[in-house]
Structure 1
């Protein structure tokens, strides 16, 4: 995710939006949905976190072609949630957030359910 999208429709110059920015917007939008426990990243993401580097794009891949965006998310959902409803809400929220903040078109938001978080008894007592 090192590429930039250039929006050159402005009178006073160009605006560059890095893929990482789209990834951060996607992360925040996905985490706002009830039933999402976390985003699931790769082994490389886990190693980076172990050495103290925070990765805000964990579990997200962004592809941009001609200012059209495709987002791929891997998430962990809470046990007992309706997975299809949570996934649909994630898709809608991520799409809305990216389009409203950047003005770019989102072609699709693919949600991969990578796992289920099983709450322990201590969590249920809260």
Structure 2
């Protein structure tokens, strides 16, 4: 998946992987999110992704000018999930608009687990 646009300087191509990286990094900066999650298709077990694999918890779909994003997250125990997801949606929309000049059509968030943060 790629997003193309042109300006007076030429053509710009943004790979879907870049959009996923921006979304994953933005998610990791949000309060209450422990990390991105990946679910094993074979046994259904959810694993917390390390920072270098966060894009495996982000799926990007591009159709024309529309960008749809799906995130799989693990939240910190004791936090209000609706507040976390509201913050995550607005953060991702802002980051993608600011950094890549992309309008997001939809964001789906799947809370795959809750973890106790060990400070």
TM-score range, shorter chain: 0.7 to 0.9
Q: Report if aligned partners of 2:36, 2:54 keep a CA contact under 8 Å in 1.
A: no
Q: 1:66-103 deviations in whole A, cap 9, x for unaligned?
A: 12211100000010000011011011101110111111
Q: 2:95 aligns with which of 84, 87, 97?
A: 97
Q: 1:26-53 deviations in whole A, cap 9, x for unaligned?
A: 0111111110001002438x7xx7xxxx
- Could you state the TM-score of these two structures normalised by the residue count of structure 2? 0.85
* Larger strand share, 1 or 2: 2
Gaps of 5+ in 1: none
Q: What CA distance in whole angstroms lies between the structure 1 residues aligned with 2:36 and 2:54? A: 10
Look at both structures and tell me which one has the larger radius of gyration over its CA atoms.
Answer: 1
**1:31-70 mapped onto 2 (5 Å cutoff):** 31-43=28-40, 54-70=52-68
Change in CA separation of 1:24 and 1:39 when aligned onto 2, cut-off 3 Å: same
Q: What CA distance in whole angstroms lies between the structure 1 residues aligned with 2:97 and 2:29? A: 16
RMSD: 1.7
| Residue in 2 that maps onto 1:29 | 26
Aligned length: 111
Q: What CA distance in whole angstroms lies between the structure 2 residues aligned with 1:77 and 1:109? A: 17
Corresponding position: 1:81 with 2:79? yes
Q: What CA distance in whole angstroms lies between the structure 2 residues aligned with 1:27 and 1:84? A: 18
Runs of 4+ in 1 over 2 A off after TM superposition: none
